[in-house]
């Protein structure tokens, strides 16, 4: 740990993750955060969501409500917190309980916090000299027994007068309600105004009808039912009179506009009682050129509706008539004009269910002023109630602020994995391919993770995680720092555990490939060569198989008697033999050249040559991997996730080993009845090859290969 004088406050520095960082070791450091140059902060801003951190604390610090916590907001929170707490060093402990005598009452803010904390304990019925985060956060319990709580909402418990309590419940039912700080439904001044406005509007609307009752209610108390009866058959009546007009225009169309015998005949073999829908489509009555709608000859399907119309309207206006004309029908409809206009002007529907008498009684009692007085009395407690909320803010800051600084100014939680700590951006562990990735980050927006994560130099696995138990899905990115990478491809399944222990089915959706270890880099060229040769062999075999199949199909398609056998071509056979001989001669010459070039070398020099060849092949890959592994940086991944990382967050080789654990099995000899058995001929072949190599070496080093010309 080194100390260095900055311009002003003597900040302390440490090396963490291969980078020099400012270290926060005392409450005075927190109090002077405003003097720390922003260039020295590890983070400049971070999101308030999707972090392993109490979002309530972050939202309180995020004073502008933009969903991001910035340096200036951290500084403001630090200055406020250190001004109202006596022992600033206690902030670093991150305790969830604060003794009341630790509140600094030498300033106005601290005095009010002390009073409010005492008030909270009193409201909760607790007699003690300390308060916890849970106690300060339980607003329902805090305000459950209080008459006023400063939120401008009154409940039945707010009423001093017994008669106001049912009125408050009625307003909440008819005009709406909100939840009071006590957790109970309550009403605001807006609800009261809306309720009494509705009462007045409804009473005035009813009074307008009473003023011209005869015109508005032509059928008295049955006016509404009479209008409904007219509307029920109105379209069929209009249809009937139009058919009559067409007959009067041309009697030749009488059969076309009337129901035909053929139409009835089509359904006559069925149960006509079940064909009411079809029959209802026929005219209301048989149209005639007289254009009189007969009361006694109405379509049976419309008879019930027409009977209601006749009883409520036609028998009233035409008591002895046996039918009506179109003019008379239009006169009936016209009588509903004032009633329709009155209905269209209806107001105060929300209180209609109370009944006119109750509406008038409520208006006469006029308790609106008393309710608004309760609202004002509640609002008068706003300062005290807000101060109670400030106690909640104090407790959340007191508990969480030190941890936030460890993940904002300096990344000690991320690098201090030996103590079991984690960065607040971490979200769980991924088990896949006999490994556990301890560094996993929730991805808020996959679209933002384009090219930026490639700059990290880390091997990244993007996975989609699904929890059927929780009914949720999420995307994560896991950092792989150890083991093999050959089988890590999109589509491979794994198991993810979040920080709460819930398991999620994980499937790889994207892989960002970078070196994972020097060991992997050493063997990488040989794996690539083996994969290239394997792919070529597979492709060549597939091509040969396709050619053979094509030739077989071609041969099968030829007629048997038309197939001519090609004569044996001795010249072609001789050419092939010559080519094979030349190939073997070339291989022998090359082998002789190599052996002659190293004739006389000691056996250990052979080993040096082999090692040199291996190094020439693997060293460049290892060197490139070594450089990249030293520069692995988590910053680009966090930047893609909404963080503004101001400093590098290195994940070097040594630290990277702690982020991925590989399965280790004890060395033991176990019998496996299902293990693959090596054929005897393969064992014999390997023994023969080994003996040949040994014999060649012995003969070579004893100088007995002259008979081979070597």
pLDDT of 573 above 60: no
* Band of residue 707 on the pLDDT scale cut at 50, 70, 90: very low
Q: Higher model confidence: residue 317 or residue 259? A: 317
135: tokens are: 């106690």
CB atoms within 10 A of CB 510: 15
Mean pLDDT computed over 75-102 = 95
Q: How far apart are CA 54 and CA 490, in angstroms?
A: 34
pLDDT score of 583: 46
Q: How far apart are CA 318 and CA 320, in angstroms?
A: 6
Write the DSSP assignment of 546-567 as a string of letters.
Answer: HHHHHHHHHHHHS-GGG--PPP
Residue length, the chain?
A: 710
Angle, vertex CA 354, rays to CA 348 and CA 355, nearest 5: 90
Is residue 121 within 8 A of residue 127, CB to CB? The reply is yes
Burial 461-480 (b: 16+ CB within 10 A, else e): bbbbbeeeeeeeebbbbbbb
User: pLDDT tens digit string along 142-197?
Assistant: 776 667 777 888 888 888 788 898 999 999 999 999 988 777 899 999 999 999 99
Q: Which residue has the tokens 């994940």?
A: 651
Q: Higher model confidence: residue 141 or residue 212? A: 212
* Band of residue 535 on the pLDDT scale cut at 50, 70, 90: low
Please state which of the ranges 71-75, 236-240, 415-419 shows the lowest mean pLDDT.
415-419
pLDDT score of 698: 62
Is residue 187 within 8 A of residue 157, CB to CB? The reply is no
Q: How far apart are CA 257 and CA 240, in angstroms?
A: 9
Please state which of the ranges 4-13, 75-84, 94-103, 249-258 shows the lowest mean pLDDT.
4-13
* Interaxial angle between packed helices 356-365 and 189-211, expressed in degrees from 0 to 180 and rounded to the nearest 10: 120
Please state which of the ranges 102-116, 344-358, 583-597, 673-687 shows the lowest mean pLDDT.
583-597
Backbone angles phi, psi at 23, to 5 degrees: -110, 135
pLDDT score of 494: 95
pLDDT of 599 above 60: no
pLDDT score of 458: 87
Q: Which residue has the tokens 């720092």?
A: 481
Q: Residues with Cβ < 8 Å from 641, sequence gap 6 or more? A: 47, 425, 441, 442, 443, 444, 445, 448, 449
pLDDT of 218 above 70: yes
pLDDT score of 3: 43
CB atoms within 10 A of CB 543: 10
Percent of the chain with pLDDT over 70: 82
Q: Residues with Cβ < 8 Å from 73, sequence gap 6 or more? A: 61, 62, 63, 64
What sign has the CA pseudo-torsion 159, 163, 165, 167? negative
Return the DSSP state at 313.
I
pLDDT score of 263: 77
262: tokens are: 């053929």
pLDDT score of 499: 92
426: tokens are: 């971490």
268: tokens are: 């006559």
Q: How far apart are CA 543 and CA 266, in angstroms?
A: 71
Kindly list the distances between the CA atom of residue 180 and the CA atoms of 110, 140, 445, in Å, as whole numbers in the listed order.
27, 9, 36
Is residue 518 within 8 A of residue 625, CB to CB? The reply is yes
Backbone angles phi, psi at 490, to 5 degrees: -55, 135
Q: Residues with Cβ < 8 Å from 336, sequence gap 6 or more? A: 218, 223, 226, 227, 230
Return the DSSP state at 67.
S
**Is residue 668 helix, strand or coil?**
coil
pLDDT, averaged across the chain: 83
Please state which of the ranges 14-28, 335-349, 595-609, 659-673 shows the lowest mean pLDDT.
595-609
Q: How far apart are CA 8 and CA 67, in angstroms?
A: 32
Percent of the chain with pLDDT over 90: 47
Q: How far apart are CA 482 and CA 520, in angstroms?
A: 9
User: pLDDT tens digit string along 26-67?
Assistant: 999 999 999 999 999 999 999 999 899 999 999 999 999 999
Return the DSSP state at 666.
P
pLDDT score of 6: 46
* Interaxial angle between packed helices 603-630 and 518-557, expressed in degrees from 0 to 180 and rounded to the nearest 10: 100
pLDDT score of 623: 66
Q: Residues with Cβ < 8 Å from 447, sequence gap 6 or more? A: none
Is residue 660 within 8 A of residue 435, CB to CB? The reply is yes
Q: Higher model confidence: residue 6 or residue 61? A: 61
Mean pLDDT computed over 240-253 = 90
| Domain ranges (residues) in the chain | 2-120+382-414, 219-264+272-335, 425-514+632-662
Q: Is 324 exposed, middle or buried (0-12, 13-18, 19+ CB in 10 A)?
A: buried
pLDDT score of 587: 46
The distance of Cα 690 from the centroid of its chain, to the nearest Å, equals 62
User: pLDDT tens digit string along 301-321?
Assistant: 899 999 999 999 999 999 989
User: pLDDT tens digit string along 601-613?
Assistant: 555 565 666 666 6
Q: Which residue has the tokens 């060229």?
A: 525
* Band of residue 510 on the pLDDT scale cut at 50, 70, 90: very high
pLDDT score of 619: 67
HEC letters along 166-233: HHHHHHHHHHCCEECCCCCEEECHHHHHHHHHHHHHHHHHHHHHHHCHHHHCCCHHHHHHHHHHHHHH
Return the DSSP state at 153.
-
**Is residue 99 helix, strand or coil?**
strand
Is residue 271 within 8 A of residue 312, CB to CB? The reply is no
**Is residue 203 helix, strand or coil?**
helix
pLDDT score of 62: 95
Q: How far apart are CA 165 and CA 230, in angstroms?
A: 45
pLDDT of 91 above 90: yes
pLDDT score of 556: 66
**Is residue 45 helix, strand or coil?**
strand
Return the DSSP state at 380.
T
Return the DSSP state at 628.
H
Kindly list the distances between the CA atom of residue 168 and the CA atoms of 142, 172, 623, in Å, as whole numbers in the listed order.
22, 6, 78
Q: Higher model confidence: residue 487 or residue 382? A: 487
Q: Residues with Cβ < 8 Å from 149, sequence gap 6 or more? A: 143, 180, 181, 182, 378, 381, 385
Q: How far apart are CA 509 and CA 142, in angstroms?
A: 48
User: pLDDT tens digit string along 386-414?
Assistant: 778 899 999 999 999 999 999 999 899 99
516: tokens are: 């994972």
User: pLDDT tens digit string along 420-439?
Assistant: 788 999 999 999 999 999 99
pLDDT score of 191: 94
pLDDT of 591 above 70: no
Q: How far apart are CA 428 and CA 467, in angstroms?
A: 14
Mean pLDDT computed over 219-239 = 93
Is residue 459 within 8 A of residue 516, CB to CB? The reply is yes
* Interaxial angle between packed helices 164-175 and 368-379, expressed in degrees from 0 to 180 and rounded to the nearest 10: 90
């Amino acid at each position: 740990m080194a100390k260095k004088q900055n311009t002003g406050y003597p900040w302390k520095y440490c090396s963490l993750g291969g980078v020099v960082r400012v270290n926060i070791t005392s409450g005075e450091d927190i109090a002077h955060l405003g003097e720390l140059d922003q260039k020295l902060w590890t983070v400049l801003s971070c999101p308030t969501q999707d972090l392993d951190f109490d979002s309530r604390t972050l939202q309180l610090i995020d004073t502008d409500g933009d969903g991001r916590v910035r340096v200036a907001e951290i500084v403001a929170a630090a200055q406020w917190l250190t001004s109202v707490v006596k022992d600033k060093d206690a902030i670093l402990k991150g305790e969830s309980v604060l003794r009341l005598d630790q509140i600094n009452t030498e300033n106005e803010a601290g005095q009010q916090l002390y009073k409010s904390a005492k008030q909270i304990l009193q409201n909760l019925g607790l007699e003690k000299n300390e308060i916890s985060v849970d106690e300060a956060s339980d607003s329902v319990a805090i305000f459950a027994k209080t008459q006023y709580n400063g939120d401008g909402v009154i409940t039945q418990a707010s009423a001093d007068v017994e008669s106001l309590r049912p009125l408050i419940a009625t307003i909440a039912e008819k005009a709406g309600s909100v939840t009071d700080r006590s957790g109970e439904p309550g009403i605001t001044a807006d609800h009261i105004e809306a309720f009494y406005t509705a009462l007045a509007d409804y009473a005035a609307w009813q009074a307008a009808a009473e003023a011209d009752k005869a015109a508005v209610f032509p059928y008295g108390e049955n006016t509404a039912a009479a209008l409904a009866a007219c509307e029920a058959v109105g379209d069929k009546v209009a249809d009937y009179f139009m058919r009559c007009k067409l007959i009067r225009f041309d009697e030749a169309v009488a059969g076309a506009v009337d129901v035909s015998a053929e139409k009835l005949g089509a359904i006559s073999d069925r149960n006509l009682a079940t064909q009411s829908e079809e029959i209802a489509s026929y005219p209301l009555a048989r149209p005639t050129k007289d254009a009189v709608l007969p009361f006694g000859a109405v379509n049976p399907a419309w008879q019930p509706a027409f009977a209601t119309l006749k009883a409520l309207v036609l028998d009233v206006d035409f008591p002895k008539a046996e039918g009506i004309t179109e003019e008379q029908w239009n006169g009936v409809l016209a009588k509903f004009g004032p009633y329709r206009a009155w209905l269209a002007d209806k107001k105060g529907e929300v209180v209609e269910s109370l009944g006119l008498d109750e509406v008038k009684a409520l208006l006469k009692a006029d308790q609106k002023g008393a309710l608004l007085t309760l609202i004002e009395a509640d609002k008068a407690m706003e300062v005290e109630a807000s101060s109670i909320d400030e106690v909640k803010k104090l407790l959340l800051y007191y508990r969480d602020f030190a941890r936030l600084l460890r993940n904002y100014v300096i990344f000690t939680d991320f690098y201090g994995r030996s103590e079991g700590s984690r960065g607040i951006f971490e979200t769980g562990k991924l088990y896949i391919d006999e490994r556990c990735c301890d560094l996993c980050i929730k991805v808020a927006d996959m679209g933002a993770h384009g090219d930026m994560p490639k700059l990290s130099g880390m091997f990244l696995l993007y996975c989609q995680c699904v929890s059927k138990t929780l009914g949720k899905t999420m995307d994560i990115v896991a950092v792989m720092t150890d083991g093999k990478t050959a089988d890590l491809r999109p589509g491979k399944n794994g198991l993810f555990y979040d920080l709460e222990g819930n398991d999620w089915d994980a499937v790889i959706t994207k892989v960002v490939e970078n070196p994972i270890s020097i060991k992997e880099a050493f063997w990488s060229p040989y794996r690539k060569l083996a994969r290239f040769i394997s792919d070529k062999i597979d492709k060549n075999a597939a091509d040969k198989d396709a050619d053979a199949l094509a030739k077989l199909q071609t041969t099968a398609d030829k007629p048997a008697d038309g197939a001519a056998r090609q004569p044996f071509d001795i010249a072609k056979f001789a050419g092939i033999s010559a080519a094979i001989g030349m190939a073997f001669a070339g291989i022998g010459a090359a082998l002789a050249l190599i052996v002659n070039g190293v004739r006389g070398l000691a056996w250990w020099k052979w080993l040096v040559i082999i090692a040199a060849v291996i190094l020439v092949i693997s060293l460049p890959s290892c060197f490139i991997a070594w450089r990249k592994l030293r520069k692995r940086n988590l910053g680009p991944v966090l930047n893609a996730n909404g963080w503004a990382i101001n400093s590098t967050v290195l994940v070097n080789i040594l630290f990277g080993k702690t982020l991925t654990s590989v399965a280790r099995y004890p060395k033991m000899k176990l019998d496996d009845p299902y293990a693959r058995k090596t054929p005897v001929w393969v064992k014999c072949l390997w023994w023969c090859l080994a003996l040949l190599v040994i014999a060649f070496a012995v003969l070579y080093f004893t100088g007995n290969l002259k008979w081979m010309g070597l």
